[in-house]
Structure 1
Amino acid sequence: MYDLGTRKHALALLAQGRSLNSVSKQTGVSRAAIRSWRVRLEPLPRMAPTDPGPPADEAAYAYLLGLYLGDGCLSPHPRGGHYLRIACADAWPGLLRECREAITAVRPGVGVYDEQKQGCTMITSFSRHWPRLFPQHGTGRKHERRIALAPWQQEIVDAYPWEFVRGLIHSDGCRITNWTTRLVGGERKRYEYPRYFFTNLSADITRLCTDTLDRLGVEWKAHGWNISVARSASVALMDAHIGPKY
């Protein structure tokens, strides 16, 4: 027998769109028991959840938007609503934590959980209203269709440009150290310098990145699909506001 609190917790997880299997693993309750609780409730009328409106935290949303455009997607649930999934490499535990925190800040009260994949973790959250916050959602891959910000999204990006660029770099970018050699007093010495890269196959998403860098005074160059920031003053700006993934 399970107490009422356990039942309510399990059913609340189901209401977020979680599968029977994942709820069972988290709560320790058998799938058969959870299924029976759900069946008992299904004949009851259900009120559609109220649209919570704009992002609760616009700075967190600008960062989350950058993550979504780089490595995110919305997946429909058969019974309605959508999963927001952001792929984060397991090599960067700090990125996983910041992604979870951003989702919670944007939509306080939503469930956030991990789906482990090979080499990465899908930070996942269910809501019936994610498409409202990410109108770029659509069929097909992002680089195969037009991607444009809604006016209200552009206003947020204009207000928090560094958070937006930081999300883009944390998803599809990196900070690396290049090296070369040069003659100093007749002796060849190794010279190292940092640079940032952003790589995305979508010309629209790349343009969103470079337009924002232009407004921030960051100099960049395009090398095929790669956007490179290598000038020392611009790298210093990026370091002050973004820094390497961790």
Structure 2
Amino acid sequence: MYDLATRRHAIALLSDGRSLNSVSKETGISRASIRAWQVRIDPLPRLNQETACPGPADPAAYSYLLGLYLGDGCISPHPRGGHHLRIACADDYPGLIEQCRTAILAVRPTGKVYVLQRQGCVAVTSFGRHWTCLFPQHGPGKKHERRISLEAWQQAIVDTHPWEFVRGLIHSDGCRITNWTVRNGKRYEYPRYFFTNKSDDITGLLTRTLDRLGIAWKQANACNVSIARKDSVALMDEHVGPKH
């Protein structure tokens, strides 16, 4: 498809009194195309051309899916246009696989979702022409090696649905475990949540959201955030829960 500048150049040559044949020979453009541009110079819309990004159909589901994507998601181009969204989910958590699938369909109800088996995990996958605008954090290279920040409209969704965002992040790169200790000869067990990610930006998105929710957290080490206080764990259990 010729761009608008090329079309205008060809029409300008005709306006100088040149014939269709001579302009066609000089530019390498067919006479039929140049003749059509005399009637309409703007390109006709293509059937597979991307339209304006429609935004997520279900903002709450999008907030959860955003957390999953930032943890274990990627977007890759299709050779004939459009992109595949892929979220990696471990085989051990069939409930998570179904929640991921449900979230994708809620965000893009007209799309389709299929599951590709990999070694030890599945890739919950959906093809579409708007995944790159729905997830503008996509880009070449690993997420922890580049800047990750939310667009204003994404932050507005996270602010409205913070627990869904936290649940998506924990379900992708987090876990709920039971720790134990011995005091006065007695064994005590207590649950805690961990989140592990190499990206300071993604970790910051989580911890800032936890702060707004009143969840106490600690930076266990360079890549790990720990939530261990009893009241905070109780809130996490109420709104997030373990993967299953």
Counterpart secondary structure, 2:243: coil
Match of 1:132 in 2: 133
The aligned counterpart of 1:153 is 154
1:6-155 equivalences under 5 Å are 46-48=47-49, 50-51=51-52, 53-155=54-156
* Greater C-alpha radius of gyration: 2
Q: Any conservation in 1 of the 2:50–2:130 contact (CA below 8 Å)?
A: no
2:238 to 217, 236, 240: 240
- The match for 1:213 is 210
C-alpha displacement at 1:223, in angstroms?
1.4
One-letter amino acid of the structure 2 residue matched with residue 200 of structure 1: N
Rounded to whole Å, the distance in 1 between the matches of 2:178 and 2:83 is 39
Contact kept? 2:176, 2:193, Cα under 8 Å: yes
Q: Specify the code of the residue in structure 2 equivalent to 1:240.
A: E
**How many angstroms apart in 2 are the aligned matches of 1:86 and 1:47?**
25
What amino acid sits opposite 1:69 in the alignment?
L
Deviation of 1:51 after TM superposition, in Å, equals: 4.0
State the 4+ residue runs in structure 1 displaced beyond 4 angstroms.
none
Query: SS where residue 234 of structure 1 aligns?
Result: helix
Deviation for aligned residue 1:78: 1.1
- State the Cα distance separating 1:46 from its structure 2 match: 3.6
The residue number in structure 2 matching 1:165 is 166
| Structure 1 residue 180 corresponds to structure 2 residue 181 | yes
Instruction: Name 1:8's counterpart in structure 2.
Output: none
Query: 2:15 matched to which residue of 1?
Result: none
String of CA shifts for 1:100-135, please: whole Å, max 9, x gaps: 000000000101001100000000000111001000
C-alpha RMSD of matched pairs (Å): 1.0
Which residue identity does 1:234 align to in structure 2? Answer: S
User: What are structure 1's unaligned runs of at least 5 residues?
Assistant: 1-44
Q: Letter of the aligned partner of 1:201 in structure 2?
A: K
Shift of 1:79: 1.1
In 1: Cα distance, 2:142 partner to 2:241 partner: 29
Alignment deviations for residues 157-196 of structure 1 (CA, whole Å, 9 cap, x no partner): 000000000000000000000000001xxxx111000000
TM-score, normalized by length of structure 1? 0.79
8 Å contact kept, 2:78–2:84: yes
> How many residues align structurally?
198
Query: Counterpart of 2:149 in 1: which secondary structure?
Result: coil
User: Could you tell me the percent identity over the aligned residues?
Assistant: 69
SS in structure 2 at match of 1:124: strand
* TM-score between both structures, scaled by the size of structure 2: 0.79
Shift of 1:48: 2.6
Whole-Å separation in 2 of the counterparts to 1:124 and 1:51 = 22
One-letter identity of the residue aligned with 2:217: W
**Secondary structure of 2:225's partner?**
strand
Partner of 1:193: 190
